Amino acid sequence: MAFDLSMPILVVDDYNTMIRIIRNLLKQLGFENVDDASDGSAALAKMQGKKYGLVISDWNMEPMTGYDLLREVRASPELSQTPFIMITAESKTENVIAAKKAGVSNYIVKPFNAATLKTKMEAVFPGSAE
């Protein structure tokens, strides 16, 4: 995999166990530079202080959802190009369509494993697959 393994990744989820799972999956793929945030507003604050190569965010969070975070990121001139993968337990078509319209880079439905994450990341970073 020809990813930049040193690129900083921001994992956003209000559920600590999920953050730990995603962090471990990223570690399996070789990524070490992983930060986390517990909701969209915390993520936005971190993104304003540091440039991330990828954001992996849960959809359902309070008070600011992953969908709201995505819309904020896409509306910001400084952040709008940041690759963004949305994770959700719901595979509702209207959610996928809403996320696509809002500019999501890719979409993962829980549960998922390292292979799924790798495939989704390869789709976000063309030319990274071997």
Name the nearest CA neighbour of 13 among 69, 97, 91.
69
The predicted structure's pLDDT at residue 128:
63
In the chain, what percentage of residues exceed pLDDT 90?
A: 87
* Segment 63-76, tens digit of pLDDT: 999 999 999 999 99
- Mean pLDDT, the chain, integer: 93
**End-to-end Cα separation, the chain, in angstroms:** 5
pLDDT at 3 over 90: no
Q: Is the model's pLDDT at 29 over the cut of 60? A: yes
CATH number belonging to the domain at 9-88+103-124, selected among 3.30.70.20, 3.40.50.2300, 3.30.110.60, 1.10.3720.10? 3.40.50.2300
pLDDT in tens, 73-93: 999 999 999 999 999 988 788
Q: How far apart are CA 66 and CA 6, in angstroms?
A: 24
- How many angstroms separate the CA atoms of 75 and 1, rounded? 31
Residue 129 has pLDDT above 60, yes or no: no
**Residue 2: which pLDDT band, with cuts at 50, 70 and 90?**
low
* HEC profile of 50-111: CCCCEEEEECCCCCCCHHHHHHHHHHCCCCCCCCEEEEECCCCHHHHHHHHHHCCCEEEECC
Q: Where are the domains of the chain?
A: 9-88+103-124
pLDDT band at 107 (very low <50, low <70, confident <90, very high): very high
